[in-house]
Amino acid sequence: MKLLNTNIILTLLFTGASSLMHAQQNDVSKCRYAKTSAGYLMVLREGDDVLALIENLAQQEKVPSATFTGIGFASEVTFGFFDNKEKKYNPKKFEKVEMGSLTGSIAWSGEKPSLHIHGVATDDKFNAYGGHILGLKVGTGSMEIYITLNQEKLERKKEQPLDAYVLQLPCIK
C-alpha cells in the first residue's frame, strides 16, 4: 500500500512537472519581446529569423523608427558587400558564429519596415567577419536585441545613382 501511494505521488509530481515544463516552453515560443522604458528588449531563440522578427515587431507595435544593438549566437549569418558597379550585394554566409556586435536601424519604405543592419561575427578560432547583414538566424543559446525608439517616423527611399535605399531626414524648420 505504501509503495502504491509513493508511485501515485511520483506519477502526480512527474505529470505536474511535465505540464509546467511544457507550459514554459509554450510561453518561450510565444514571447519574443518585452516593452522597456526606452523601447523593447527582444530575446530570440534557436532557429529564429532575426530580420523577420524585428520587422514583425516594427509592424505589430507601429514603431515609427528606431535603432538597435544586439549580441548572441548565430547558426548562420549572411553578410553582403555592396558592388557599386553592379548595384547589388555580393553575399557570403558563415555558420556557427557568435555575434560580437549587431547594430542597425528601423525605418519605413512605404507600408513595410526597412531594416539596415551591420555586425561582426566571430568563429571558434576567434576570426572576425563583418559588414552589412542580409540574413541572420539564431543558433544554440539566444540572441538579445535592445531596441531604442525614436518619436519621428523615418523613411528610406531609393536614390540614384547609388540605386539603393537611403534613410531620409525630415527638414527642420
Question: What global pTM score does this model have?
Answer: 0.81
pLDDT digits (tens, 9 = 90+) for 115-135: 999 999 999 999 999 999 999
Using the Cα atoms of residue 71, residue 135, residue 93 and residue 28 in order, give the sign of their dihedral.
Answer: positive
Nearest CA-CA partner of 75 in 97, 44, 106: 97
User: Which cell numbers hold the place of 13?
Assistant: 509530481
pLDDT digits (tens, 9 = 90+) for 75-106: 999 999 999 898 899 999 999 999 999 999 99
Rounded Cα distance between 154 and 107, Å, is 5
pLDDT digits (tens, 9 = 90+) for 32-74: 999 999 999 999 999 999 999 999 999 999 999 999 999 999 9
> Following CA atoms 133, 137, 140, 142 in sequence, which dihedral angle do they give, to the nearest 10 degrees?
80
